[in-house]
Structure 1
Amino acid sequence: MGRHANGRNNWRLSRELTIGLIAIVVIVSVILWWTTAREDTNRNHATATPCINGTVTLPIQAIDSPQLAELIAGYEDSDPVVRDYCVEPQLVSSGVDAALTLASGPRDVTRAALEAVDRTPASDTWPIVFNTAIGVAHTNDVEVSGADWTELADRGVVIPAGKNVYARAVAASALTSGDIDRGVDLLRADRTLTVDDAVADGSPLLAVTEDSTPDGYTFYAPDDLAVSTVAIPLTATDRVSEEQTRAAADFARYVSAQVEQAEPDGPQRQLLSTADIISERFASVPEESKGSIDDGTDTLVLLDTSTNMDALIDGHRIASEVALLLDPLMLSVGRAGGRVALWNYSSPLSPGVTRPWRENVTFLDDTAGVSATKAVKGFGTGGDPMTRTSVLAALGAVSQRSTDTGQAVRFVIITSGTADTMDDRAFRDGLTAGGSGQIIPQVVHVGTGPLDPVLAEWATSNGGTAVTADMTVASIADTLQDAFGVARP
């Protein structure tokens, strides 16, 4: 019999085929999901930071320069990562806070400077960071082509003060053909002469580094004489972490790979060895003051010995340079008949000590400044500059001395800034209350921090001065000389 139509669509899929199609759809969906998830994962891995532990700063003690800035920029562009920390270089002024320091000059001098702030090199390998060419800057009307150092010396080359005292020693060694005594004399003769001063004086020939050639002068290098600046990774302390010291070692490795580590040839090595001795003698032996203090005014010197005084200047710590410069000035006070008192200050560093100042030499001392010159050479550095508290304490001693003698007393304050918490009003009130008698306040601000505005206002409004010295030995020398009232010869 034939089949009769029932009026319904009869195009139904079989049960098996339906199940098969569903399975295929599921499999395709799973494949698409897995592929998309994998791409997302790869994308996330590609964009994820390698700094799982975050960022670690690399504190570098150095004077900023174009060469250093270029090197640090290259290091940062290499995306340095040490133990899952991204490394971020940062310049600091104090060796106490540094994981790496830059230095030039004799190794013994560098090690001594580090020991003075209780720091130790982490390695004996100190890679060269950059080389600074040393030569003669000359005016355009002076012909120097072909002249060697000996010939230039006969033409009156001066060695003005600059940012690198060792470079000056190298120039002195070259100009004297390695004569140590004459080299030291050359450095002493021009110690307070800046490049600007020499230009103003019309000096036609200046021994300088290439990067300090003044406008209007042309740099001439008699040979390839140069000073190397090296990078010194330091060991960890309670202020410098192990992660930071690892970052310092990584930076040193980068420097070794990027900068040619060439050694000087025989003749240059001999000149540099002599320069080592010249710079050491120049730094260690105080020069005699040629000036005099007309009235022999009693003077109290209040000296900041905080870690701020570890900032580098002319390749040495500010603290060392200030101590050297104070020596002849204090002796000048004594020779003119004045008494010298010496106090130093920082935040208390020893258990049980609560006050930040130390009365090292009082006005009772009658050694004509000799005791003060001995004491200042023995100061270490540490802590923060508790300036306001210390100034008020020393002001009391100055006022008492003026009252006892009926004479004016000079109050020389050498400070790197203020870290104590005394507010402005309390400090002003203390200065007003303690400033009895005839006081000549002289504030000499050194370092890179700001000058205390209340201290400066008090000094200038009471017939004294408040001067911020430039970061050069010459500027600090001039500022201290003015503060002591030493007449130039």
Structure 2
Amino acid sequence: MGRHASGKNNYALSGRAVAALVAVLVLVAGLVVYLATRGDRAAQDSASPATNCVAGDLDLPVAASDDAIGQSLVDAYSDANPVVRDFCVRPSLVDSIADAAVYIAPNTPVAHQQLAQRNRTASTAEPAPVLSVRVGVAGASVPASAADIELESVAFPVDEEPAASALVASTIAGNDQDAVNALTNQRVAAIADAGNSPLVATSEDNVPDGYSFVPVDASVLYTAIPLNQGEKVSEDQSRAGQDFARVLSERFQDGGVDQPAISDLVWAAATPTGGETITDHTETGATVADGGPVNTLFLLDTSEAMAPYLDSAAAGIASAAEAVADTGHQVALWNYSSPLNPGVTKGYRRNVAFTPDAGEVVQTVNRFLTGGKPQTREAVTAAVQQVAETGTPARVVVVTTGTADGGDDGTFAGAVSEAAGAGVTVSVVHVGEGQQDQALRGASSSAADAARPDQVAISIEAAAGISR
């Protein structure tokens, strides 16, 4: 059968096809408009991040061991227009670690002891580096090189430049004792107080006008230590502190000079009160430990050297234990000397485990006899490790006549510092006039001397945070 012409063009689109094509064109046009306006909105959001801050503003308190360094990092983070959990983060520098959500400081045992003293803990085991600053000496007339710097010609500003002072002293001195002595005897508050000293320790970015700078082979490596939430810091602020550390660490570029490893003694001596705590052996008063009473383990030296002071020490521990328990905290008691019986390998004895009943401590502490040598470092290391395992902030009060088991200072201080990261602080009371353990003093958060029996009890109470 033949085909007949209809009079219509067989290649024309049907009405349904035309409608579909129109719909596609509308969708494409809408997509183009959306992408264009989305780009505009993204640009607007980038330029004005407050449009994304549906939760409002969030204050981020930042503490720093060096105010100038801290402020520069706060400004750098603020310039990034940070937004965390829909909050616009507003960082600012605060004076107290107790109020902070992040702490800027060199990552040293001293920094973690300062945190522990205020019952603050880091939310990371490896703080991120955020700034590296070269250090050296400055003066109107300076030596040709670091090798020509004489230690006795340098003033060390421990309020203004504590980290630079520590590194410069350690690098020039060559040994810890000389560095500690210099930081104690040649300390000043600020660079402007250097007086007649021809040179002053400083960082490269804090050289006074008209002074020249000679670097030593060292840099201060500042880290941002984010802190867990606390009484004055919310969970959101703690999260913002972690973001602060992340953002600044991603921007960090190593300056090429490392922060050398130096001892805890030198770090402590460079703090505003550290040198006095470590080297002044004439202290007869008793300073109350920071933080007040907390769960407390009393660690009593019962070596032969303690014999003239044992009754006073027992009375002090009994009184302090009762006062601590009265505040609702628990107390514990260990004693130590050296192994006194065949087959015994450890010098310390766990007498009373943590208990709210101070009576157990009072009864036990009055039964001790003396003998042997003070294996202090073994006992302190075991005590802080066991207390750290409880997971509760606590203090170890060490009542000691000295140390008969020296060993490596750095290893010992490292063990105490690790416990400090878990909220354990050490307060030491040195009894008598024997040689003091400088590493123990340097690793402690407070220290007192009790050369006479009548000074022992009040010193123990103060070391336990008791104020009479």
TM-score (norm 1): 0.47
Over alpha carbons, which structure has the higher Rg?
1
